[in-house]
Amino acid sequence: ATDLDWWRGGVIYQIYPRSFQDSTGDGIGDLAGIAARLPYVASIGVDAIWISPFFTSPMKDFGYDVSDYRDVDPMFGTLDDFDHLVTEAHRLGLRVMIDLVLSHTSNEHEWFKESRSSRTNDRADWYVWADAKPDGTPPNNWLSIFGGPAWHWDAKRLQYYMHNFLASQPDLNLHAPAVQDELLDTTRFWLEKGVDGFRLDTINFYFADKDLRDNPALAPERRNASIAPAVNPYNYQEHIYSKNQPENLDFLKRFRDLLDEYPGSAAVGEVGDAQLGMELLGQYTKDGQGVQMCYAFDFLAPERLRAERVSSVFAHMKEAAPDGWACWAFSNHDVTRHMTRWGLTDLGARMYATLICSLRGSICLFQGEELGLSEAEIAFEDLQDPYGIEFWPEFKGRDGCRTPMVWEASNVNAGFSDVRPWLPVAPEHLANAVAVQDGREGSLLNHYRRVVSMRNEMPVLRRGDQTELTATGDLLTFIRTDGTDRVFCAFNMGEAPIEVALPLGNWVPVEGIGGTEPGLAGLVLDGWDYALLRAV
């Protein structure tokens, strides 16, 4: 394995720039703040950071609505600040992945302003425009994930435009060659700036059906609320025409060819698809022709991750994406933090941290997960997320996982900012602050540091095969293998103690990561306990 393959099995730390560190005293995090905190990130032992969007934006979806792909929003700093961040990261041995949102822009992007100005301008076909039906209603039945129809009437052009997300996030039309060229040029711009890779937002939404055919209804028993909340009628459709067209493979191939001009650069494509996630992962990473990794939603589901689920996801992957490479995550800026979502105690959090660092695939950790942060309760008056405001209170939105990082318990606003932050610091997070956990040998933060280093130091865990994956009740076991290197991994994903039958051979514990060692009577795992054993 060469350095160029750093992404394979790597650990990526996700930074939500608004909420990491404010350096300017406006209550909002920024790039200079991130740069100043990089030594902390490096101390966890991760390979790379992924920074959620920091580009120029009216912030209707907090940066996922870009109005200039080649500049930094003044709120977050300048291009010079970005260059400094990259230099700092590289000095510390961290790779930098940025978050490109290529499926849609902001409605305040110059391209959209021009596109809506007439039906004949140079960028007339840069977005998905269509006439109203004779009765004035939208061209088809497509729905927006953020609520309501996926079509918004434009009174200037006298046509509807399509938006899978907010009405202020019009979808680009990647069927237009000029759009593809421009997006690839933008990607090159950032590669030239020295970034090491990309998290590509919603790659499954790059193309919609040219003929704009209606989506069919989805059978109620197949409705899955893990992408859009259950209260959203988006769950009632099967989105076969509004996304994932075969043309996407050709575009991703072009994207990959560009990456290959910059050896060592890599992309993880986000594929949030409740029905087809694994199949798409297989297609979009196939034969080295698409993205290197797909970001899998399987472990972001609301229900607590059980042994049976882990084993069925990997079994499904073997079938649907035999050569695919997944990037796993338990938490991110879109879902309820897993401490709360799964109702974990500190013991459970340690077991899950050990588990994710033992899995085959790459992994993403979301800022604060290493501190064991719970989901913050946000009052309606403080709510910022438009998705939450739309469906409140049945769905409370995504603000509860986006509250500021907690650095010091005693400092005003936990050391995040000198002024009132854009979302309140959760008082219950203070006890978990970095400064509190840093020097405490047994803290969850130090556990994360240990299991991340374990993964780094053991190639078998980063890139090895994963065999004999078995779920028996709450017990999950598998063996990671790489030539003669073998590690037996066992996780008790429940309360009650479980006796574990060891595979044949001599096994010694992987050192320094806690867990239980086999005794004379064999291996017995207490509730939420784990064991990682190396073959000797």
Beta-bridge partner residues of 68: 56
Q: Print the binding letters for residues 10-29 with ligand TEU: x by CB under 6 A, - otherwise.
A: --------------------
Among positions 59-118, residues that touch ligand TEU (CB under 6 A) are 61, 64, 101
Instruction: State the minimum distance, in angstroms, from the CB of residue 105 to ligand TEU.
Output: 10
145 binds ligand TEU (CB under 6 A): yes
Burial readout 233-247 (b: 16 or more C-beta within 10 A, e: otherwise):
ebbebbbbbbbbbee
Instruction: State the minimum distance, in angstroms, from the CB of residue 342 to ligand TEU.
Output: 16
165 binds ligand TEU (CB under 6 A): yes
Considering only 201, 370, 375, 529, the residue that binds ligand TEU (CB under 6 A) is: 201
Complete DSSP assignment for 451-517? HHHHHHH-HHHHH-EEEEEEEETTEEEEEEEETTEEEEEEEE-SSS-EEEPPPSS-EEEPTTS----
396 binds ligand TEU (CB under 6 A): no
Nearer to ligand TEU, 7 or 165 (CB): 165
Considering only 272, 290, 361, 372, the residue that binds ligand TEU (CB under 6 A) is: 272
**Which residue of the set 65, 81, 201, 385 is catalytic?**
201
Instruction: State the minimum distance, in angstroms, from the CB of residue 229 to ligand TEU.
Output: 7
How many Cβ atoms sit within 10 Å of the Cβ of residue 440?
10
Nearer to ligand TEU, 165 or 530 (CB): 165
Nearer to ligand TEU, 88 or 201 (CB): 201
Nearer to ligand TEU, 395 or 530 (CB): 395
Q: Using CB under 6 A, which of the segments 117-125, 329-337, 488-496, 528-536 binds ligand TEU?
A: 329-337
DSSP helix/strand/coil, 289: coil
How far apart (Å, rounded) are the C-alpha atoms in residues 76 and 31?
Answer: 6
How far apart (Å, rounded) are the C-alpha atoms in residues 143 and 412?
Answer: 43
Whether 201 is catalytic is yes
Nearer to ligand TEU, 128 or 461 (CB): 128
How many Cβ atoms sit within 10 Å of the Cβ of residue 527?
16
How far apart (Å, rounded) are the C-alpha atoms in residues 496 and 190?
Answer: 51
334 binds ligand TEU (CB under 6 A): yes
385 binds ligand TEU (CB under 6 A): no
Closest CA to 480 of 321, 339, 370, 360: 360
Whether 369 is catalytic is no
How far apart (Å, rounded) are the C-alpha atoms in residues 284 and 536?
Answer: 39
Closest CA to 355 of 500, 521, 266, 466: 466
Among positions 439-498, residues that touch ligand TEU (CB under 6 A) are none
The DSSP element (H or E) to which 86 belongs, if any, is helix 79-91
How far apart (Å, rounded) are the C-alpha atoms in residues 372 and 377?
Answer: 16
Q: What residues line the site for ligand TEU (CB under 6 A)?
A: 61, 64, 101, 145, 165, 201-202, 227, 272, 333-335, 398
Catalytic residue numbers, as ranges: 201, 261
